[in-house]
Amino acid sequence: MIRKLKSGQYRIYSRKVDPKTHKRKNLGTFDSLAAAQKHERDIQYFKHH
């Protein structure tokens, strides 16, 4: 899940909410949407391989 920050950067959050904190985990911050999307694809790949 990618969200745009006020600073103009993009941050990847986990899809599920953390049961302890009731928030989504920060999985990385990127300057461009394309870089964030590429990293999100990498994350999904490694989660399933």
**CA distances in angstroms from 10 to 13, 19, 38, listed in the order given:** 10, 24, 12
- Per-residue pLDDT, 12: 98
- Spatial distance between the Cα atoms of 49 and 35, rounded to a whole number of angstroms: 21
- Per-residue pLDDT, 20: 95
Domain boundaries along the sequence of the chain:
2-47
pLDDT tens string 1-49: 999 999 999 999 999 999 999 999 999 999 999 999 999 999 999 999 9
Is 6 buried (19+), middle (13-18) or exposed (0-12) by CB count in 10 A? exposed
- Per-residue pLDDT, 18: 94
- Per-residue pLDDT, 34: 98
**Whole-structure pTM value:** 0.87
Query: Could you give the dihedral angle defined by the CA atoms of residues 39, 44, 45 and 49, in that order, rounded to the nearest 10 degrees?
Result: 140
